[in-house]
Structure 1
Amino acid sequence: MEVIFASQNPNKIKEVKAILASLPVNIVSLHDLNFDEELEETGSTFQENAFLKAKFIYERYQRPVFADDSGLIIPALGGQPGVHSARYSGLHGDYQSNNSLVLEKMKDVTDRRAYFLTVICYFDSKGMVHYFQGRLDGAIAMAPSGTNGFGYDPLFYLPALDKTLGQTPETKKNELSHRYRALREFTDFLKKEVI
């Protein structure tokens, strides 16, 4: 079975392929399809953004496709950066600037609880839509630490491990991340319904 992953983020593609490696599913990226258009992310929720991306690619290729939208939610900042996580500082994918802005806004905040959320939208071969979700709870560190992962990983502290995701080896991160949890729901669905 072949499924398109509607993402242009090479870090996400690598992570997803690693997590789904044990399935008898061929994950095709947008890069594999020579697709280089901008995908719409104008929704006000992660679910809306995942839907918009998956729908666009499904309508274009008429093949099973999934898309995710993920972000960091900090309750003390009113849920920011939320759906704007990738472009929080104004530039899409500027991880260092995004992390700096979070630290600046959190400098006098004592409630440092935060969580990552991933929502996956899957269009099956008949165009039916299915959603899957994963969440990882933690806190915002006082300073970035570690070079593993991407995005907010150096700031996201996991009390149970006493380290940030940026300090966590990739294989361990792939076993506990918000994206892993959403993908686990998705793979359980695929195993029962499709494969």
Structure 2
Amino acid sequence: MTSEKPRLVVATRNAHKTAEIREMVGDRFEVLDATAFPGLSEVEETGTTFLENATLKAVAVSQGVGGLVLSDDSGLEVDALDGRPGVWSSSFGGEEGNHAKNNERLIREMAGIAERSARFRCVMVLARDGEVVADFSGAVEGRILDRAQGEGGFGYDPLFAPDGHDSSFAELGSEVKNSMSHRGRALQEVMAWMEAQG
């Protein structure tokens, strides 16, 4: 007798993010996202921290969807830019979700700067029935490259080389990226927590 896989709803409409999480979770859960629930309203990310935004999304979506809802808010923190773009990573170039413009602005702002240390940070929140159940975080240290390298990944991946690598996340491929990424590390914590709950 087979039991149905538990369902995990990801509070996003970002197909790249859903695919990454689905790949990392494997076959332990049926992973759906907000696009599977056409009646859900868009959640405005008005927080000033990754935790605030992840909480807003998880709570709002879990009020309209049964079971566990996972949200994440993540972004790139560049030390020479005082932690920017941070929570505004997806709109850094002036247009929400325009990766090319975001990368162009980052290259422009980092021109001539020798200090290139940076990190991707991710905060994940689990919620059920409008209540936060737990939160988790992950980060990966690295540096900003002078120019985009590679065709894979999304967002700032072509400009970010993780510590210990000369290649960008866009060149390393999803398997390597997921094994060390900020999202992968946060999700490992989520999975360990969920397994501990039985």
Query: Which bin holds the TM-score, normalised by the shorter protein?
Result: over 0.9
Q: In structure 2, what is the equivalent of residue 8 of structure 1? A: 13
What's the CA shift for 1:139?
0.2
Structure 1 residues 61, 45: closer, same or farther in 2, change over 3 A? same
Give yes or no for the alignment of 1:68 onto 2:79. Answer: no
Which residue does 1:43 correspond to in 2?
A: 47
**Residues 1:93 and 2:107 aligned together:** no
- Aligned residue for 2:151, secondary structure, equals coil
- C-alpha distance 91-5 of structure 1, shift in aligned 2 (>3 A): same
Q: Distance in 2 between matches of 1:10 and 1:67?
A: 13
Q: Does 1:109 align with 2:77?
A: no
Amino acid at match of 1:49: N
Q: Aligned runs of 1:1-195 on 2, under 5 Å?
A: 1-23=6-28, 25-35=29-39, 37-124=41-128, 127-193=131-197, 195=198
| SS at 2:36 equivalent | coil
**Quick one: which amino acid aligns to residue 69 of structure 1?**
D
May I ask how many residue pairs the two structures share in their alignment?
Answer: 193
> In structure 2, what residue type is equivalent to 1:181?
R
Q: CA RMSD in A?
A: 1.5
After TM superposition, give the deviation of residue 61 of structure 1 in Å.
2.2
Shift of 1:59: 1.4
Q: Deviations over 1:40-66 (max 9, x none)?
A: 111000000000000101112243111
Note if contact 2:59-2:130 (Cα within 8 Å) is conserved in structure 1.
no
Tell me, in whole angstroms, the C-alpha distance in 2 between the residues paired with 1:35 and 1:105. 40
Q: Secondary structure at the match of 1:123?
A: strand
Q: Residue deviations 1:5-47, cap 9 Å, x none?
A: 1011000000000000142x21121112225632211100000
Cα displacement (A) at 1:185: 0.3
SS at the partner of 1:65?
strand
Q: Secondary structure, in 3 states, of the residue corresponding to 1:73?
A: strand
| Residue identity (%) | 33
Provide structure 1 residue ranges, at least 5 long, that are not aligned to the other structure.
none
Evaluate the alpha carbon distance shift between residue 128 and residue 69 of structure 1 in structure 2; reply closer, same or farther with a 3 A threshold: closer
Residue 30 to residue 111, structure 1, CA distance change in 2 (3 Å): same
Moved over 3 A (4+): 124-128
**Could you list the per-position Cα deviations for residues 52-108 of structure 1 after superposition, in whole angstroms to 9, with x for gaps in the alignment?**
000101112243111000000001101100000001111111111100100101102
Report the Cα offset of residue 158 of structure 1. 2.3
Residue type of the alignment partner of 1:20? V
